Structure 1
Amino acid sequence: MKYVRPRGYTTTAVVGLAAAGMVALVLIPRALADDVDVQIKGIGNPLESNVRKSLSVAGDHKQPWSPDQIQRLFRLAPKEIKQALQPYGYFNPEINERLKQPSGNSKTWHARFNIKHGPATKITRLNIDVEGPGDQLEAIQSALHSTELKKGKRLVESQYSDTKSALYNAAYNAGYLDAKFSKSAIRVNPKTNTAEIDLVLDTGERYYFGPVTFDQDLLNDKFVHRYVPFTPGQPYDAEQLINLQLALSDTDYFSQIEINAPRDKATRAPAMNQWFYDLIYPPQDPLQSIGELRIPVTVKAKPSKGQSYKISAGYGTDTGPRLGLGVKFRHLNQYGHQFRTDLRISQIQRTLQSSYDIPIGDVTQDKLSFTATISNQDFGDITSTLYGVGVTRDTGWQLGRQRAYIKLEREYYNLGYGSRNSTLLYPGYNITLQKADNLLFTHKGVSLSLDVRGASDKLLSSTNFIEGDFSAHAVVPVTAKTRIVMRTELGAIETDNFNEVPPSQRFFAGGDRSVRGYAYQSISPTNSKNQDVGGRYLATGSVEGDWFFYKKFGVAAFFDAGDVTDSLGNFSFKRGVGIGFRWGSPVGMVRLDLAHPLDDSSTPVRIHFSLGPDL
């Protein structure tokens, strides 16, 4: 941006707003607070704050200033004040300044400024326009009409800068890479407190994406092209290149990715068989008939290692010590197929699970997985051994994921009256939604999950049932350091013979992420031996208040309630209250809680420790 001095205006009257906005700080380090006491009266913020930042006499410094230094800096104040007010449209302020020397034993000088900003400079002529082939583009027209600059309004430098940036960004992001301002000037006449603005953008010619070439020999060329979020001939958009970079990085096929789209290598796409249509329907863009300027895109990708290994360890009061081992084979073939297997061991679960994953559909987020599972797991007081295979279609959507699956499971267990087994072939559907400002340290967010599944004895299953499980979590900010954390879970099983439903499909409550104050999965209907065997209906809820008193360290107070029953009319909610400690660690929230069960006198206080995201 520049100011142009109009004919007849005095040199001292015409001052560039950009120069006026510069802060004339003396480069002296941090100040002693009692060297110069500066008071500014007569104007409010943002004028006062900008004036104070501009005053050299109010600058920071380490060593005390000498009297000569203070007086010299004070003399600069009137000019600095005028420059600080000009970005807000005030070019004729009245300034009364006074500098008082220290008295007695004091070492503090007193600088007083009484300021009247004077009349506002109004815009009397405003010429904002766009020229060139892209002048009618919707995004450019939107930026043009959303400007805050208006004829008759006070001149504000930031509004001019915002308008200029919005116009240029709209053109550049639409592929007009040669866009430039043919006119860009503000003419100010301080004598009449008026301003004239000329701001004209010339879009220049539009650029388009050309062919995309991959420099790699790991994946099939047609397959890897499915990660490209644009096609040749689309208007050039730098954000699409970023999306391509992220899409390839999110896969673990490559360890290093480099994308080049040199504008100077752009070539014109021949307008084949276009002359006849140009004759009958002349194109609005005169350059279109001679071909589009297309920028070639080259992607260099270095393959990652063929295998990756994962080792994890942790502790939770629900699970006890836990260990995880995993291996993933990343490069099975040229079509992105992968195989992974994971082993998880804890006090309550011993599971080996494998999955063969095939990218399908939108390969950036969709896959088809063939799974196999062997699991020995404790449910309440029941131990179950399960063997299963399944197929899952895992698809991403805007706010989460959706999974359609079918599973075949064979399960062995004892509900307290002899060994049992079951066979289930059941389809299911799961959808999740998650939105948060920060997944690891959430101040505001929500997550929802719904899973519905069912089996029939007419289709290889040993029983009939339909089951639904819904959970919701919400984090609501109260202040910058406080928040409310809420969660609920509801579940139900509809069946004609609940005794035939295996433990893996039943509901339990109690534990770190359920009803605190009660042991893990200890809230449940019981058998004749008083063993927790799971129930048909589940309802739990929790409300927690967190206060982070220092950075990511905080304390919490909570109330939990929930129950599992075999009849909707028999809910008797178990309640727990307590306090806890919170730490937002780099891997998720660390929670240490002391919970008191209100409906169980046998355990006055139970300690709960857990680690993981709030959502």
Structure 2
Amino acid sequence: MKYGSPRWYAATVIGITVIGVTGMVLVPRALADDVDVKIKGIGDPLESNVRKSLSVAGKHKQPWSPDQIKRLYRLAPKEIKQALQPYGYFNPRISERLKQPGSDSKTWKAKFDIKHGPPTKITKLNIDVRGPGRGLDAVKKALHSTQLAQGKRLIESQYSDTKSALYNAAYNAGYLDAKFSQSAIRVNPKNNTAEIDLVLDTGERYYFGPVTFDQHLLNDKFLHRYVPFKPGQPYDAEQLINLQLALSNTDYFSQIEIQAPRDQATRTPALHRWFYDLLYPPRHPLEPIGELRVPVTVKAKPSKGQSYKISAGYGTDTGPRLGLGVKFPHINRYGHQFRTNLRLSQVQRTLQSAYDIPIGDVTKDKLSFTATISNQDFGDITSTIYGVGATRDTSWALGRKRAYVKFERENYNLGHGNRQSTLLYPGYKITLKKADNLMFTRKGVSLSLDVHGASSALLSTASFVSADFTGHAVLPMTSTTRLVLRTELGAIETNNFNNVPPSQRFFAGGSGSVRGYAYQSISPTNSKNHDIGGRYLASGSIEGDWFFYKKFGVAAFFDAGDVENSISNFSFRKGVGIGFRWGSPVGMVRLDVAHPLNHSSSSVRVDFSLGPDL
């Protein structure tokens, strides 16, 4: 092959390529996968912040070359100094060392021995608020709660927190033009001192102006009942959020937009102009007077004229169950709604309709008129119930309050022929519920008390007063364990219990009561040994859950309960068992294997249920 010929050049290129590829294969040390970074001399939070700031300690998907590692290592002293400055250390002493991998390793080792040096202390501190908002309680609280103090070490986060607290206190109170005329930290690293100036000028206060609704579905006067503020009140951004949430929680609209443009604020004298001028003479004859009021516009698009709901499930107490519902949210321009629901299972077949009218505080108060047809099993008795009623449903800080009156006709057979009951009874039910997470509760409590009664003097075939109390509590024990407690107490006061229909009696047993016993199988019986319910109920449960992997866990439990017609006859049925738990997106899945400790038709019973713990 002749030197300089085209064939010679081609062969040379191929040879060089082969050598290069061979070199890459035979010399894997050209790239390094990782750098082991050791930091000594300082503790958290300093060490954590330093490590996050070090480029040489950063994560990387592709291997680094030796040149890259050396370059990042050279940046370390500067990055360490910058990471210590927010904590008031501007003169650290740093010793560093980088060790290349040995023959049996692919990891570089970088070591940093850090002494943070003397702290920088605040020698001059000027924190002040100027303007008409200076006297606000929220502003005073922000001033007094600052952790900045003369003679203390400078910590940059305390400065930022104080600055944010002052601004938010003024802005949230309606001082929308608030700004800092002075905001500076001056550090002298030579003598480790710092001077701080932080002065907020609140400017003029803004107020809410008129609220207008851009929609054609509901009466504007009705919608104004959702507005949590009145024109003339100080502007508060949180109140606008409350308005947004209140309207979003209804079924009236599919989209809501609230506009409160500050640049469209207009001045409205709080009093007659001459009296306002007398009290507050303008500093300049042409200076505008009065309150700056921001107009609020709510734009809303209506939701669909009807909505449908389908649900399905399974439980050992109820068997397969199906729910169908339809709701009509736009009955008229005053927020009336109509809904109807069908529930089907082995123990209950119910059709219920309700007409809802917002009243009082429309965000949490409504009046409902209901009609119900139900065929339902209570123990071994099947009842057919026809009823109408009215309920005032009101929410409160921790739950709901319901005052109701019902009129019901019930057909049933307790073993002595068909019977019919007529009841007109008022009642009151209050519920409380508070939890860190309703779907997967680590800590929470729920309580419920329902009291109602009927009188033979008022269209009823029985006279009685009934009270039913239930309580649930979830208590965290460790990061992966919890204690679940449950109790129910019930009592019926009457002079003739035989006239009380099955729907008003108490039963126990099943997955939500005493596990190991069939659903509603714990109760007094008739001459045919049928469970017909009793006057007094007491049950309780204690359960320990251990979540061994994320939301998957196991449980061990002990349940006890009884239903009798006399408290002196109580002989608690007891059950123990183990179970499986899974915190699914729709609530806790429970699969329990329970063993009854007292007489039962089966030595082992499997219970399955799905739903929130509270």
Secondary structure of the equivalent of 2:132? coil
Q: Does 1:504 align with 2:477?
A: no
> CA offsets, 1:466-495, max 9 Å, x none?
110000111112223222111111000111
Which aligned pairs between 1:593-612 and structure 2 lie closer than 5 A? 593-612=592-611
> CA offsets, 1:194-237, max 9 Å, x none?
10000001111111111111111211111111111111111111
Contact 2:393/2:400 (8 A) holds in 1: yes
Cα displacement (A) at 1:282: 7.6
Which aligned pairs between 1:454-469 and structure 2 lie closer than 5 A? 454-469=453-468
Secondary structure of the equivalent of 1:144? helix
Match of 1:141 in 2: 140
Which letter maps to 1:247?
Answer: A
Contact 1:525/1:564 (8 A) holds in 2: yes
Contact 2:32/2:108 (8 A) holds in 1: no
Cα displacement (A) at 1:310: 2.0
Match of 1:75 in 2: 74
Q: Distance in 2 between matches of 1:408 and 1:281?
A: 64
Match of 1:101 in 2: 100
Which letter maps to 1:532?
Answer: D
Which letter maps to 1:212?
Answer: V
> CA offsets, 1:42-82, max 9 Å, x none?
11111111111222222222333333332222222222111
Secondary structure of the equivalent of 1:443? coil
Match of 2:482 in 1: 483
Farther-moved stretch of structure 1 (435-444 vs 127-136):
435-444
Match of 2:190 in 1: 191
Q: Distance in 2 between matches of 1:62 and 1:460?
A: 80
Match of 1:9 in 2: none
Q: Distance in 1 between matches of 2:348 and 2:34?
A: 68
Q: Distance in 2 between matches of 1:545 and 1:210?
A: 56
Q: Does 1:385 align with 2:384?
A: yes
Match of 1:249 in 2: 248
Q: Distance in 1 between matches of 2:572 and 2:536?
A: 12
Contact 1:275/1:289 (8 A) holds in 2: no
Farther-moved stretch of structure 1 (463-472 vs 273-282):
273-282
Cα displacement (A) at 1:109: 2.6
Q: Distance in 1 between matches of 2:552 and 2:161?
A: 39
Match of 2:494 in 1: 495
Q: Distance in 2 between matches of 1:97 and 1:119?
A: 20
Match of 2:445 in 1: 446
Cα displacement (A) at 1:582: 1.7
> CA offsets, 1:151-171, max 9 Å, x none?
000000110011111111111
Contact 1:387/1:409 (8 A) holds in 2: yes
Match of 1:177 in 2: 176
Contact 2:517/2:600 (8 A) holds in 1: no
Cα displacement (A) at 1:100: 2.6
Q: Distance in 2 between matches of 1:465 and 1:157?
A: 69
Match of 2:3 in 1: none
Q: Does 1:57 align with 2:56?
A: yes
Normalising by structure 1, we get a TM-score of 0.92
Q: Does 1:124 align with 2:123?
A: yes
Which letter maps to 2:304?
Answer: K
Q: Distance in 1 between matches of 2:223 and 2:584?
A: 37
Cα displacement (A) at 1:274: 4.8
Q: Distance in 2 between matches of 1:288 and 1:488?
A: 69
Which letter maps to 1:308?
Answer: S
- Distance 1:455-1:287 versus aligned 2 partners, 3 A rule: farther
Match of 1:344 in 2: 343
> CA offsets, 1:436-468, max 9 Å, x none?
111122111111100001111111111211110
Which letter maps to 1:169?
Answer: N
Q: Distance in 1 between matches of 2:287 and 2:522?
A: 72
Secondary structure of the equivalent of 2:423? strand
Normalising by structure 2, we get a TM-score of 0.92
Match of 1:29 in 2: none
Q: Distance in 1 between matches of 2:217 and 2:97?
A: 76
Which letter maps to 2:555?
Answer: A
Match of 2:149 in 1: 150
Which letter maps to 1:437?
Answer: D
Contact 1:271/1:289 (8 A) holds in 2: no
Q: Distance in 2 between matches of 1:144 and 1:518?
A: 63
Q: Distance in 2 between matches of 1:360 and 1:393?
A: 9
Match of 1:90 in 2: 89
Cα displacement (A) at 1:98: 2.1
Q: Distance in 2 between matches of 1:361 and 1:573?
A: 46
Match of 2:555 in 1: 556
- Distance 1:281-1:106 versus aligned 2 partners, 3 A rule: closer
Q: Distance in 1 between matches of 2:107 and 2:325?
A: 68
Cα displacement (A) at 1:192: 1.0
Secondary structure of the equivalent of 2:275? helix
Which aligned pairs between 1:273-312 and structure 2 lie closer than 5 A? 273-276=272-275, 279=278, 290-312=289-311
Contact 1:40/1:112 (8 A) holds in 2: yes
Q: Distance in 2 between matches of 1:450 and 1:487?
A: 14
Cα displacement (A) at 1:276: 2.7
Q: Distance in 2 between matches of 1:181 and 1:110?
A: 47
Contact 2:267/2:288 (8 A) holds in 1: no
Match of 1:418 in 2: 417
> CA offsets, 1:248-288, max 9 Å, x none?
1111111121111111111111344253365358899x999
Which letter maps to 1:349?
Answer: Q
Contact 1:444/1:475 (8 A) holds in 2: yes
- Distance 1:606-1:287 versus aligned 2 partners, 3 A rule: farther
Contact 1:274/1:289 (8 A) holds in 2: no
Match of 2:19 in 1: none
Which letter maps to 2:246?
Answer: A
